[in-house]
Amino acid sequence: MPDATLPTVEDAVALGLTRDEYALVCEKLGRAPAQVELAMFSLMWSEHCSYKHSKRLLGSLPTEGAAVFMGPGENAGAVRVSGDLVCAFKVESHNHPSAVEPFQGAATGVGGILRDIFALGARPVAVLDSLRFGEPTSERSRYLLDRAVAGIGHYGNSIGVPTIGGEVYFEGPYETNCLVNAMAMGLATEAAMIKSAAVGLGNKLVLFGASTGRDGIGGASVLASAEFGEDDADKRPSVQVGDPFEEKKLLECSLELLRLGLLVSLQDCGAAGLTSAASEMASKGEVGLEIDLDVVPLREEGMEPFEIMVSESQERMLCVCTPERVAEVVAVCEKWEVHGTAIGTVIEDRVMRVVQHGAVVGEMPVEALVDDCPMYDLHPEKPTTPLYPAPEGSLAADAPLRDTLLALLGSPNIASRLPLFQQYDWIVQSRTVRRPGQADAAVLQLPDGSALAASIDCNGRRVACDPYVGTVEAALECAANLACVGAKPLGTTNNLNFGNPERPEVAWQLTEAVRGLGDACRALEAPIVGGNVSLYNQGVDGPIYPTPVVGMVGELPRADAAGRMGFLVEGDVVALAGWNATPVLEGSELAKLRGDALPDGLPGYDLAHEVHVLDVVREAVRSGAVSSAHDIAEGGLLVAIAECCLAGGLGADMTEIPASIDPLMVFGERKGGFVLSGPRAALEALDVPLDVFGTVGGDALRVGVAGGEAVSWTLEELAHAHAALGPLFP
C-alpha cells in the first residue's frame, strides 16, 4: 500500500473503537491499519453492525418452525403462507438519525427496511411503524412526531407501499431518544427468493442504484452505537438523505434482474454502506472481494477511499453476476435509469481488497472484519433503586368513573391514531382488507382469497416494570391482535431498543427481555425469523424505557371472514372472555394518569392457558361465531368496550357487569382478555373463562358495576375525548 500517515489509536477511539479493540485490529492485520481500513473496522465492529453486546443472547431465541422458509442471517426472514408464496418480513430501527433529523431519519428508515425485503426477491406489500416520543406537552416531542410521521408518509406514499398499521406511545423517558422502528412485508414465490452470499470465483460485483456521496458517512458508528449528548445537532451530516422515487426504480430494476435470472446473489447497501454489504456477502460465500474505487459512480468530487467505502448514501444495491452477464445487468439498469457498474471481482483470497488508481489502499481478512469482532459478556444486575421517576399525574385518585373513562380515552397512549394514519396511504396496491381503526391487526388479501395479518406492539412502561413479563405481554398482545382477525401466527420479528448495555441495570433489562421473548414465542409457536438490536438509546437523563418491539405475521384462510373490533349487530350480547386472573392497576395507564410510581414487578402468566384462549378466540372469529373481537390492552376493560362502541358506531348497555368485578378493576390491565360480541348461545359455548354482561345497541354506553348506579356516555362524548391527538395534526 502507498506510504501515508497512519491513523493513531486516538483516531480509532474517535471512531468508536476502544483501545483494546484497536490493538486487536492491529493483531489481526499484523500491522497498524490504514485510514480506509480503520474506518471499515470501526463500522463493522460497531454495536450496530456486530451486535457485540447482544449476539450471544440472541442465540437463545427460537428460530425454527414448520412455516419458516428463511430464518435469521439474511436481509429479512420469510415464512410460507399460501401455495408457493412466501412472506418476507423484518423490523429495523432508525432511532438516532430520527432524533437528529426526524424527517430524513424516518424516511430513510422506511427506505432501508424496504430494501431488505426486495433484496430477497420479494415485492414489498406493506409497512407498519412503531414510534416512541416524549410527552406531547413537550415542544421537542411534538416536532419530532410531526416530522417523523411526515417522513414515513413521504417515503411510503411516494414509492407506492401502503402503511397498514403501527403504534405510537408517549412517555417521558423517550424525550431525548425517540424511537422510530419500521416493519416491512413482501411477497414472492419460493423459486424467486435469492440469498446474499457472494459465490463463484471470477464473478463480478455490480453496484447499481444512486451514486455515492458523503451523506450518511459513519451513521452506524457515529449515530447508532453511542449515547446521545448535547452535540447531537452536529451529527446531522451522518443522517442519510432518501429519495423514494429513486428507490422505486431500484425496486423494479432489482425484481426484473431476478425475474430474468441474471443474478447469483443480491444485497442492499444499508448501515456501513459498501463496507458491510460487500464484506457480509464475502463472509457468507466464504470468498474474497476486490473493489476498484475508480469506477464507483460518485456524486461529489475528491472523495477519499474511506468516504466511498463507508458512505451510507441511500437507494443502492450490490449484486453478483457471472462475467458474461454483466452487459445484460447493466442494460437492465440503464432501462430503469439507475447506475449499473461492475466495481469488483470475487477472488479466492479471503480478503477485502480495496484498490484505487491501480494501488491497494486497503486489504483486510474477511474473517477479521466480519466474524472476529470481539463479543462481550453482559454483567446484568437488577437495580436496587428505581431507574425512572414517577410520571406527572393529571387525574385525581378519587375521580369518578365517568371522568376517568373520558380521561383515559383522551390520554396520549390511548387516544385515536387516525389523525396520524390519515397521512399514510393504506390502500395502495389494493390488498388492504382491514385498515387502521377497523380491527386489532392489519389484513392483506392474497391471490387465492386467503389473507395475511400483521401486528406490531410493545408497551415500554410495562417492560420497565418487569422486563421479563412485559416482553411476554408484548408477544401476547401481537398474537391477540392476530386472533381478533382470525389469524394464526407464522413467525415473529423483533427490534430490541435498550439503553447502554455496558451498564448492569440495562444489561439486566436486556437479558430478562430476551428470556421473555424466547419463552413467549416458543409457547405461541411463532419463531423469530429476523430482527434488529438498537442499543445506547440513552442520554444525560438516563435510559429509555426498555422497548423490545415485537412484530408478528399470521395467516387466515379467508380474507372475507377477517374479524372486526367494532360492535356490528344490534341485540348481540357482549362478553368478557379469557381472563383467568384479576387485572391490576399497577403499571397501568390509569396509574400513569394518577402519577403513580412504577411497580417492582408484574403478575406472571400461564402461557398454556393464554395459548388456549387465543386458539378459541381465533376459531370463533374464523367460523363467524362472534360478530366482533377486541383484545383488552391499555386502559383495561371499560376502555376496550368504549373502543368497540366507537369503531362500530353502536352503543352498549353494560348494566349487567357482575358484582365480582371491582369498580376500579374495569381499568386494571392484563393480557389475555377479550371483549366479544355475538349471539348468546355462541358465546356461552366457548371453552374459555367467560362473563356475559351486556347488550349492543343505542347511541350511548351505559355501565353499572357491582349493583351501583349506572353511568352513561353518549357516543359523541366518547368520540370527542378519543380525538384528543387531533390538534397535533392540523
What residues are labeled active site?
48, 94
CA dist 670 and 579 (Å) reads: 8
SS (H, E, C) 684-707: HCCCCCEEEEEEECCCEEEEEECC
C-alpha cell at 157: 406514499
Backbone angles phi and psi of 192, in degrees to 5 = -85, -15
Tell me 367's DSSP state.
Answer: I
Helix (H, G, I), strand (E, B) or coil at 624: coil
- Report the DSSP beta bridge partners of residue 78: 70, 88
Backbone angles phi and psi of 591, in degrees to 5 = -60, -40
Q: Cell 497498524 belongs to which residue?
A: 32
Cβ(644)–Cβ(628) below 8 Å: yes
Classify each residue of 477-490 as buried b or exposed e, where b means 16 or more C-beta atoms within 10 Å of its C-beta: bbbbbbbbbbbbbb
CA dist list (Å): 25 to 16, 18, 37, 42, 625: 13, 11, 9, 10, 63
Other beta carbons less than 10 A from residue 197's beta carbon: 19
Which of these, 111, 337, 105, 306, lies nearest to 214 by C-alpha position?
306
Cβ(562)–Cβ(628) below 8 Å: no
Helix (H, G, I), strand (E, B) or coil at 197: coil
- The secondary structure of 4-40 as a DSSP string is -PPP-HHHHHHTT--HHHHHHHHHHHTSPPPHHHHHH
CA dist 431 and 21 (Å) reads: 49
CA dist 273 and 721 (Å) reads: 47
Maximum Cα interatomic distance, the chain, rounded to a whole number of Å: 88
Classify residue 201 as exposed, middle or buried by CB count within 10 Å of its CB (0-12, 13-18, 19+). Answer: exposed
Sign of the CA dihedral running 306, 310, 314, 317? positive
CA dist list (Å): 468 to 208, 343, 382, 445: 44, 47, 12, 35
Alpha helices in 532-631 (DSSP H): 589-594, 607-623
Contacts of 196 (CB under 8 A, 6+ apart): 74, 75, 119, 265, 266, 267, 280, 281, 284
CA dist 637 and 653 (Å) reads: 14
The bridge status of strand 488-497 relative to strand 451-457 is unpaired
Cβ(446)–Cβ(559) below 8 Å: yes
Cβ(394)–Cβ(412) below 8 Å: no
- The secondary structure of 220-264 as a DSSP string is IIIITTS---TTGGGGGGGS----HHHHHHHHHHHHHHHHTT--S
Q: Cell 438509546 belongs to which residue?
A: 537
